Structure 1
Amino acid sequence: MTQDNDPIGEAIARLRERAQRQGAAETGSDEAGPRLAIDAERHRLRQLEALLFAAAEPLDIETLQARLPAEAEVEALLAALQADYAERGVRLVEVGGRWRFETAPDLASLLEEVKEEPRRLSDAGLETLAIIAYHQPVTRAEIEEIRGVAVSKGTIDLLFEIGWIRLRGRRRSPGRPVTYGTTDAFLDYFGLSAIGDLPGVADLKAAGLLDSRLPPGFEVPDPGLGLRGEGEDDALDLTGEDAPDFHVDFMEDEEGEDD
């Protein structure tokens, strides 16, 4: 940077000239005047720096002038501060007539933060997930029978994509439909140690999720019914007389199939 393009040097030179004209008369010393003036200017630079750092939004010259001493030359101070920060990690820039500090462009990659935006489940997705959790292993037809409406492929695909459901096998019935169940990721997300820890009727009522006046015969199924262990696809209890038919699944290793 040449002397002609040195804002700090120019600002100091102007200060020296002004101090030389006024310093001797005001201070009685040819040396004290310039030194005091330079110290005052540096103090204003610090004040300007503090204002810009603390500001929640860019500041215009009028706002800065109102906050600084009346004798402060804001434009000269901004130029000096801008030059001082030119090679630092942050720099002083003018945006639309206002001034602010920002990260140096070549260092922007250091501050990048990648966040995975969670996909919000629709009401249909939540209902489908709840049915699978409480009735697993359950087929799509059974989900639709419980909900009373068709289940879109997109809803099932989204639950697979999130990682909360998995295939449990095929039903020993005409058409051999696939059945669905929850995953360990589902348990982890909802803070459950086992699927049997899902809330029952009393818990749902206490949380205000169920009307206190339920229809006759209403019950919440036991999500652990018929399961002998967690994470075992073939751990199905086929002996319980009260187990619903859709718990009678089998897990055969078939060519081309993957659980």
Structure 2
Amino acid sequence: MSAMAEAPDDLVRAVEATLFAAEAPMTAEAISAHLNGIAVAAALDELQTHYASRGIHLVERGGRWHFETASDLAQLLRREREEVRRLSRAATEVLAIVAYHEPVSRAEIEAIRGVQTAKGTLDVLMEAGWVRVAGRREVPGRPVIYATTPDFLAHFGLASLRELPGVDEMRAAGLLDPVDDDMIQMVITGESGRAADGDPD
């Protein structure tokens, strides 16, 4: 048995140091492999509890662990010059459809939206790191299918896609105006009410 396995406090410190030094969020398996195969689940739980009331939190997003600023302090750390990623309405719709229906093909996205989807729309989402090619559908023509990425979950503060809100939740939070309400209903149910008149980028 290694000295680290005999000293739980050392393991917690080692996991903490590994996550602080990591360039990207890490799975528990990757952390364990970095520490010579030692089980790290208990150490991650202990660290998450330790940081729960501090200025940074240890969070799991899409099976990957990383430290992030506590949400009530985020405004203190904003840079004077911020890079804002603005999505077109078309890109927002496509991203929502991928998130709620993944894995999904371009044809399925277009069937839900009721309009053609410009290739550039999916390119923008993939360049942002929020959508990825997830393989091909095993049907004639074998169309490419798309899914969200761990970066999508991290950016929107989701542990998994199960945390995506429904229409009733968004309406109750006052996040929908009548136009958005119709669009989100279309996205979640997969029912299109729009004529095929092109992609409104």
Query: If the TM-score is normalised by the length of the shorter chain, which range does it land in?
Result: 0.3 to 0.5
The structure showing larger relative contact order (alpha-carbon pairs under 8 Å, at least 6 residues apart) is 2
TM-score by length of 2: 0.47
TM-score by length of 1: 0.37
Larger Rg computed on CA atoms: 1
